[in-house]
Copies of this chain bind each other. A is one copy, B any other.
């Protein structure tokens, strides 16, 4: 295979060849490194790279036994995850030169499954809104989104097939949408998160990016320990809930048209496609997510807030100040509300296997601001699994897609339906 063929292989295709020893990990890693060399000065997807170490790891995998579901696959790791073999800076100068002792749990699990960590991908400052240098591969005048900016951009630009990310508000789904790749956020609580810089003790979740649904399923299977995420069979005809959500008026024409077009296509083929009856007060979830996050981030980043205020961005300092002004009494009430919501939302899935809903308000904005997680906040606080599927293009040819949301714990079913949907949307 030539370099271009290697770079356009899906991860699930590559891992079959790697496992059969019909493809060398070293060749795949080398192709990725060539692509990175060619493109990185424009895209700035990486915070830290170590090509020699990656090649050495690949050669060792080629020479040894097959390790697991990710055997020999190049992997990007958001620079919010501790790594023992790369510096880890959480998108902040506060951690310049910091080398953790230990790999974060998800990184260790991926390496155990045979992944070759190519490098650390750019995160916004502590996974909040202040952007890193990464640019959108489809148009470098535009943001790739955040906070998993580098992971989404690197996968979109074929620098690597798979990358890890995290979401607290919209940090997986939004950059996946802006960069036109598949993003997957598992159900809350399914992934061990030790060694991942904590923002919110009640909402942080680890997930990832790929260029196909099967690819994020591979990664998801390793992260959750649930093999069904990588080995589903064709879904029965799904029941799809069409859910514009109360935020619909904030979606622009690109997003609204894409959603309507998808709803038309799927209505003709699904078992059923019905409008979701919006739960009472559903719109309140947006502000609830913001409040819980603000309270928790201010305390999670206490050390930085107290000792390094002068090295934090103004927006982050403002957030931390707002959070410290909030009371724990309100936070306790909010956690009770969240628990009630998580329980009651399950009823939505009695009639729908998945919900079809927007991912973003529009295409990736021009400039550096990382965009609005409006359409992700509710699903983040509800802890439901979700997938972003690329679908079409909007203004300036930039990607537009859709979000599918699944029932809690039914991540494998969500992915099976997402595969079914994606095939029908991209035919």
Which chain A residues have a beta carbon within 8 Å of chain B's beta carbons? 84, 95, 98, 101-105, 107-109, 111-112, 187, 189-195, 197-198, 201-202, 221, 224-229, 295-296, 299-306, 324, 326-329, 331-333, 335-336, 339-340, 342-343, 408-412
Contact = CB atoms under 8 A, between A and B. Distances in A.
Given A306-B112, A327-B225, A198 B190 contact: no
A332 B187 contact: yes
A225 B224 CA distance: 32
Q: How often does this chain occur in the complex, in copies?
A: 2
A84, A189, A335: residue with the most chain B Cβ atoms closer than 10 Å: A189
Given A102-B303, A193-B201, 7 more contacts: A108-B306, A191-B201, A192-B299, A225-B295, A226-B331, A332-B410, A339-B342
B333 A103 contact: no
A224, A229, A410: residue with the most chain B Cβ atoms closer than 10 Å: A224
B226 A304 contact: no
A103, A108, A187, A412: residue with the most chain B Cβ atoms closer than 10 Å: A108
Contacts of A202: 189
Nearest to A190: B332
A409 B335 contact: yes
Contact of A409 (B101, B333, B410): B333
Given A95-B101, A299-B109, A190 B328 contact: yes
A312 B9 CA distance: 40
A299 B223 CA distance: 9
A111 B302 CA distance: 10
Contacts of A108: 302-303, 305-306
A332 to B, nearest CB: 4
A103 B193 contact: no
A198 B189 contact: no
A198 B108 CA distance: 14
A302 B194 CA distance: 9
Contacts of A225: 295, 299, 324, 326-328, 331
A192 B198 contact: yes
Given A192-B296, A296-B192, A326-B225, A339 B331 contact: no
A408 B109 contact: no
Contacts of A112: 302, 306
24 contacts: A103-B303, A105-B198, A108-B303, A108-B305, A111-B306, A191-B201, A192-B296, A192-B300, A193-B198, A194-B197, A194-B198, A224-B331, A225-B326, A225-B327, A226-B329, A227-B327, A227-B329, A228-B329, A229-B328, A332-B410, A333-B409, A336-B409, A339-B343, A343-B343
A343 B343 CA distance: 7
Given A339-B343, A343-B339, A105 B333 contact: no
